[in-house]
């Protein structure tokens, strides 16, 4: 259930970011074409609107990606055996942790 909620959240964030991006550009273009408001405000909306959208929703995208990477690290450290499941919960081939490492094994 949590994976479903996370995937819905991911899709909604992408949809909202696209809607705000199109909205700011269309709003600024509408202001320029009809003469509503000042020209500076319209150009500011066209130029600064997408920058704010990228700043806000880019931060959310980084948070989502960071969360996925932290889950991978936690799976590799303990709990489940590393490599049995990927971040989407699908089964993958499992390699022994010693086989994945490039450094030589230590011997006692």
Q: What is the chain written as a DSSP string?
A: -HHHHHHHHHHHHHHHHHHHHHHHHHHHHHHHHH--S-HHHHHHHHHHHHHHHHHHHHHHHHHHHHHHHHHHHHHHHSSSPTTSB-TTS-B-----HHHH-SSPPP--
Residue entry with tokens 């994945």: 100
* Rounded mean pLDDT, 24-50: 92
pLDDT of residue 29: 94
In whole numbers, what is the pLDDT of the chain averaged over residues?
Answer: 79
pLDDT of residue 71: 81
In this predicted structure, the answer to whether residue 28 has a pLDDT above a threshold of 90 is: yes
Size of the chain in residues? 108
% pLDDT > 70, the chain: 69
Q: pTM value?
A: 0.58
What are the residue boundaries of the structural domains of the chain, listed by start? 2-100
Task: Give the mean pLDDT of 78-101.
Answer: 57
Q: How confident is the model at residue 91 (pLDDT cuts 50, 70, 90)?
A: low
Q: Give the pLDDT mean for 52-77.
A: 86
């Amino acid at each position: 259930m949590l994976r479903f909620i996370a995937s819905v959240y991911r899709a909604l964030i992408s949809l909202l970011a696209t809607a705000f991006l199109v909205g700011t550009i269309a709003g600024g273009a509408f202001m320029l074409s009809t003469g509503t408001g000042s020209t500076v405000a319209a150009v500011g909306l066209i130029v600064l609107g997408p920058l704010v959208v990228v700043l806000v929703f880019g931060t959310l995208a980084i948070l989502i990606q960071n969360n996925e990477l932290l889950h991978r690290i936690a799976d590799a450290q303990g709990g489940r055996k590393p490599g049995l499941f990927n971040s989407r919960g699908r089964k993958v081939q499992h390699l022994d942790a010693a086989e994945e490492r490039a450094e030589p094994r230590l011997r006692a």
